[in-house]
Amino acid sequence: MDTPDLWVFGYGSLIWSPGIDIAESRPARLRGYRRRFCMWSIHHRGSEEEPGLVLALEEAPDAVCEGLAIRAADPEAALTALRERELVSAAYHEKRLVLETEQGDVEAVAYVIDPEHDQYARDLTIERQAEIIARARGGRGPNAEYLHNTAEALRGQGIDDPDIVRLVGLVPPAS
């Protein structure tokens, strides 16, 4: 019996560090959501004492988020790995959303911030985000490294995100 395809929406670190075996990836667009540093990171890029910030998908009716539709080579193993990584604190909802690609629409797993969760960092200015990102460090390294790796990956995919570009200008690379 064939296992159905598993598509995942990569909009941040899943682009440069997917943690799964990839069968295929293609540019994709998700309507109604935006990429934003709106999740307090107390595990990977910060600590409980000094939280960092990581990207999350935030619902925004008129927004469009560009990223990658990633088809997992092993759907079962990929879903297990993604859940261990992304659902570590239950700040994300795992949703199946429709991505637009040039080859047609695909349904993909996407991780969306829970606006009721304590880790939702609501309404931080870009300047405040930069202050937090510049100093935070977690189990996977400096928060600034996460920002700069994401910016480089987006640039490499031809994705223009003005907020990310602005943050890169405000946060020096991790030393």
CATH number at residue 51: 3.10.490.10
Q: Is 86 a catalytic residue?
A: yes
Give backbone dihedrals phi and psi of 106, rounded to 5 degrees, phi first.
-135, 145
Which whole number is the average pLDDT over 62-88? Answer: 95
Residue 174 falls within a domain, yes or no? no
**C-alpha to C-alpha distances, 51 to 100, 107, 162, nearest whole angstrom:** 34, 33, 24
C-beta separation of 83 from 54 below 8 A:
no
Which whole number is the average pLDDT over 49-64? Answer: 96
- For residue 111, the enclosing domain spans 7-164
Which whole number is the average pLDDT over 71-94? Answer: 93
153 band by pLDDT with thresholds 50, 70 and 90: very high
C-beta separation of 143 from 131 below 8 A:
no
pLDDT > 80? residue 5: yes
pLDDT > 90? residue 3: no
Residue the block writes with tokens 């990584």: 85
Residues whose CB is less than 8 angstroms from the CB of residue 52 and which lie 6 or more positions away in sequence, other chains included: 40, 41, 44, 45, 46, 132, 133, 136, 137, 138, 143, 146
* Closest by Cα among 70, 62, 69, 68 to 34: 62
Number of domains in the chain: 1
The count of other CB atoms within 10 Å of the CB of residue 31 is: 14
pLDDT > 60? residue 173: yes
pTM passes above 0.85: yes
pLDDT > 90? residue 45: yes
C-beta separation of 33 from 65 below 8 A:
yes
Residue 36 falls within a domain, yes or no? yes
CA angle 172, 16, 119 (to 5 degrees): 70
Which whole number is the average pLDDT over 64-91? Answer: 94
Residue 2 falls within a domain, yes or no? no
Which whole number is the average pLDDT over 28-34? Answer: 98
CA angle 60, 56, 59 (to 5 degrees): 15
Residue the block writes with tokens 């935030």: 58
**pLDDT for 1:** 40
Average pLDDT, the chain: 95
**C-alpha to C-alpha distances, 62 to 30, 31, 32, 34, nearest whole angstrom:** 11, 7, 6, 9
Residue 91 falls within a domain, yes or no? yes
**pLDDT for 2:** 54
Catalytic residue among 86, 94, 100, 102: 86
Residue 108 falls within a domain, yes or no? yes
